[in-house]
Amino acid sequence: MAAAQENPECIAPANPGGGWDFTCRQVGKSLQDLGMIGKTMQVVNLAGGGGGVAYAEVVNKRNDSNDLIVAASSATATRLAQGAYPGNSMDQVRWVASVGADYGMIAVAANSPVNTLPELLDMIKNDPTSVSVAGGSAVGGWDHLKVLIAANAYGIDDVRSVKYVAFDGGGEAVTQLLAGSVQAFTGDISEAKGFVDSGDIKVIAVLAPERLEGEFNKFPTAKEQGVDALGANWRGFYAPKGMSDDAYNMWVEKIGKLYASPEWKATMAANGLAPLDLQGAEFEAFVADSVVQIQSISKEIGIIK
């Protein structure tokens, strides 16, 4: 078996342009820039099933790979919570570390007449069929839950009336928004950044407790618009269950070091990532809590029994 990190590889369980892809590419680049890996991290996009295709691939075919890490997030915990992955247990893999948290946001096309979150939610309240919201996760997935959390907070009693359209990643969801086939987009701040910079979309609400720092400060929170909705998407990695302890500890240490570096702090600031500093056993416990919490929201809104 090859030594750990000889051919470092990161699986992004979605198409290019979304949060998982960003996590792999940005972490791979930073690890190399800091001299922590000798070779370029190979990023493999393996979309499908809200991350389920990648999960199955790791569990069934790559279980003893020491070189491999996989991008994960609240979306991963959501699918595990809802029993949507093959085998359905977070114990089939090893949980490595987090690299920050990415607050959810709701956006519309730049030329949309809608300017505030209450305006959008009023449209949904008055005629649920008039608004389709696109996201980069499966139905019942994290992006879907974010818009439901907002609708729920606004007093839309039957959140199942909200029309959600699933795409394989945030990049595709925005493409559909710009084409006019959907009226709103829900994703995470890091996904939205490029599209805001290019003038394609306007963010009408960030699902954070208060306004974010830096250039993200211009986006209003849902809370300040009277909608008490919070949605933080953690970002991190899992690894194959059969990875050697040495390799696992090495990855945990590398990502912990990366997180502590000034370079990563700058990357977080530039992409609107909030602090979340967890490695190894602590991170695993956090993911387990995350799964339990999402199970209870999913039951509440009728996604699972």
Q: If residue 269 lies in a helix (H) or strand (E), which one and from where to where?
A: helix 262-271
- Choose the final residue of a domain: 196, 225, 254: 225
- When divided into structural domains, the chain yields a total of 2
Q: What is the structure's pLDDT at 261?
A: 98
2 assigned to some structural domain? no
- For 1, other C-beta atoms within 10 Å of its C-beta total 10
Residues 51, 131 share a domain: no
Residues 220, 107 share a domain: yes
Q: If residue 246 lies in a helix (H) or strand (E), which one and from where to where?
A: helix 245-260
Residues 214, 128 share a domain: yes
Q: What is the structure's pLDDT at 139?
A: 84
Contact 94, 241 (CB under 8 A): yes
1 assigned to some structural domain? no
257 assigned to some structural domain? yes
255 assigned to some structural domain? yes
DSSP state letters, 106-127: EEEETT-S--SHHHHHHHHHH-
d(CA 160, CA 168): 21
Contact 134, 185 (CB under 8 A): yes
Phi, psi torsion values for 233, nearest 5 degrees: -100, 110
Residues 129, 80 share a domain: no
Residues 131, 89 share a domain: no
Residues 254, 238 share a domain: yes
Tens-level pLDDT at each residue, the chain (305 residues) = 344 568 999 999 998 888 899 999 999 999 999 999 989 999 999 999 889 999 999 999 999 999 999 999 998 999 999 998 888 799 999 999 999 998 999 999 999 999 999 999 999 999 999 999 999 988 888 899 999 989 989 999 888 889 999 998 888 899 999 999 999 999 988 888 889 899 999 999 999 989 988 888 999 999 999 999 988 899 999 999 999 999 999 999 999 999 999 999 999 988 888 889 999 999 999 999 889 888 877 887 777 88
Q: What is the structure's pLDDT at 236?
A: 97
Q: Using alpha carbons only, give the angle 261, 206, 269 rounded to the nearest 5 degrees.
A: 20
Residues 166, 153 share a domain: yes
Q: What is the structure's pLDDT at 2?
A: 43
Residues 205, 140 share a domain: yes
Which stretches of 148-260 are assigned E, i.e. beta strand?
163-166, 184-188, 201-206, 232-240
Q: What is the structure's pLDDT at 305?
A: 80
Residues 254, 196 share a domain: no
Residues 160, 95 share a domain: no
Residue with tokens 């500890």, as numbered in its chain: 249
252 assigned to some structural domain? yes
d(CA 105, CA 221): 9
- Choose the final residue of a domain: 160, 195, 225: 225
279 assigned to some structural domain? yes
- Choose the final residue of a domain: 198, 225, 252: 225
Q: What is the structure's pLDDT at 152?
A: 87
For residue 145, give its domain range. 103-225
Q: What is the structure's pLDDT at 87?
A: 81
69 assigned to some structural domain? yes
d(CA 128, CA 148): 13
181 assigned to some structural domain? yes
Residues 80, 138 share a domain: no
Q: What is the structure's pLDDT at 7?
A: 92
Q: What length does the chain have?
A: 305
CATH of the domain at 93: 3.40.190.150
Rounded to the nearest angstrom, the gap between the alpha carbon of residue 273 and the centroid of all alpha carbons in its chain is: 11
Phi, psi torsion values for 38, nearest 5 degrees: -85, -20
Residues 119, 94 share a domain: no
